[in-house]
Amino acid sequence: MHWLAKYKVAIGVNLLLFSLILLISFAWQSAPLRIEGIDTARLLHYSVHIIIIPIICIYLPLKYIRQKYSSGKRAYLAGLVLCVLAGLISATYTHTISVPGSFLFKIEGGTKQVDDPDYVQGSDTNSYMALTITTSVSGYDKPPGPLYFYVEAFLHSILYCLYMLCYLQAFGILHKHKLKEQLKQQQLDVLQYQLNPHFLFNSLNSIRGMLYEDVGEAKKLLLEFRQLFKHHFDNKRHCIALKQEILLCRHYLKLEKVRFEERLNVDISVPDACEAMLVPSMSIFTLIENAIKHGIAQIPQGGTIAISVHQQAKKLCISVCNPINLSARQADGTRTGLTNLESRLALLYRDNFTINSERTNDQFRVELQIPIKKDKSGE
């Protein structure tokens, strides 16, 4: 249910409070673990004071105010007014519907009697008022005066102020976290839109060149390009299953195979157990595109691009290896793909990823390690 997910934090906190109220509502005796039963009056009164009144008088109005007004100062000022109102309602409850003094504490006062040990003959200190922490719901021994009501209302308001401050702080932290997530998604979207036109432009160049040489082959290119274009519009996720990523790479490699013919060979090794694991969309694609541009395209006889995936502890390791021509001039490029990939990895995994490259003789190898996450969508 949508409302259950939306208010799960508030529901969880109130269930915890109710559990505590239920626990202290048992009538304990002096012997260890001796329980006589549950005091239903105490359970009812505590639930009204600690759950129902704060929800109705503080939580719901503040939630509305926070949604309508973005000013935090206005929310705090409104919260103080609501706490005073809640304190008055709570004190009214203890003096009308409930028995006076049924809250967590009660105010006691009066005049000390002569037989009282603390009684001092002829002293003004014989009049007293005290705050008593109690779990009793028996109420006052005698009807309290108006002063007791206002003192209780003030003390209840202070407790509700603590509730209000805790709520606003928690709301602020959650809201800040939500804004960070939204900003991260927007940044990922910008990078995604930057990357997709990049490879679409390269693919269109390949098709344009083939149109003048072989119309039949150009049709094949258009068919593969259609699949790439379909992915561009259908994929709205920043992480996809490895199986989908490899399928996308195969479409691109078929397109490039027509252009490079026998110069381009591919060796893909992906265990079945890893196919459902999530990888950043177009991450392997970017590494392959880089291997073709700076490797295969620079070697007259071509070579083999080796793509391998394996699981190492709690990491998914992806490596792309390609031959290089040490004497060839460095291919022109803006490093859009690799820079884009590194930026997306940092947003998705923070510091919990590594991307390393090494050059050995005539081979260039890039290895990417990311945390293991499985695709639960079943797509």
* Residue 312 and residue 258 share a domain: yes
**What whole-number distance in Å separates Cα of residue 157 and Cα of residue 80?**
9
Mind spelling out the 3-state secondary structure of 71-88? CHHHHHHHHHHHHHHHHH
Reported as a pLDDT band with limits 50, 70 and 90, residue 223 is confident
Note whether residue 34 is domain-resident: yes
Q: How many CA atoms within 13 Å lie on the side-chain side of 17?
A: 17
- Mapped onto helix, strand or coil, the DSSP state of residue 139 is coil
Note whether residue 158 is domain-resident: yes
Domain of residue 326, residue span? 213-371
Query: How far separated are the first and last CA of the chain, in Å rounded?
Result: 23
* Residue 223 and residue 100 share a domain: no
Note whether residue 78 is domain-resident: yes
- What is the pTM for the complete model shown? 0.56
* Residue 152 and residue 62 share a domain: yes
Q: What is the DSSP letter of 51?
A: I
pLDDT at 306 over 90: yes
Q: If phi over 0 gives left and psi between -120 and 50 gives alpha, with beta otherwise, what is residue 137?
A: alpha
Note whether residue 338 is domain-resident: yes
* Residue 32 and residue 77 share a domain: yes
- Could you tell me the CATH number of the domain that includes residue 269? 3.30.565.10
Q: Which residue has the higher pLDDT, 64 or 88?
A: 88
* Residue 237 and residue 329 share a domain: yes
Q: What is the mean pLDDT of the chain?
A: 77
Residue 195's pLDDT is 53
Q: Give the mean model confidence (pLDDT) for residues 53-79.
A: 82
Identity of the amino acid at 164: M
Note whether residue 184 is domain-resident: no
Residue 268's pLDDT is 94
Weakest-pLDDT range from 137-146, 242-251, 355-364 = 137-146
* Residue 149 and residue 18 share a domain: yes
Note whether residue 61 is domain-resident: yes
* Residue 220 and residue 328 share a domain: yes
Residue 319's pLDDT is 95
Alpha carbon separation from 188 to 51, 195, 241, 347, 375 (Å, rounded): 41, 10, 17, 7, 19
* pLDDT 10s digits, 270-302: 999 999 999 988 889 889 988 988 889 889 898
* Residue 135 and residue 43 share a domain: yes
Residue 187, C-beta contacts closer than 8 angstroms, at least 6 positions apart: 343, 347
Burial 44-73 (b: 16+ CB within 10 A, else e): bbbbbbbbebbeebbbebbbebbeeeeeee
Q: How many CA atoms within 13 Å lie on the side-chain side of 338?
A: 16
Note whether residue 265 is domain-resident: yes
pLDDT at 369 over 90: yes
Q: How many domains does the chain have?
A: 2
Q: Give the mean model confidence (pLDDT) for residues 203-219.
A: 76
pLDDT at 156 over 90: no
Note whether residue 208 is domain-resident: no
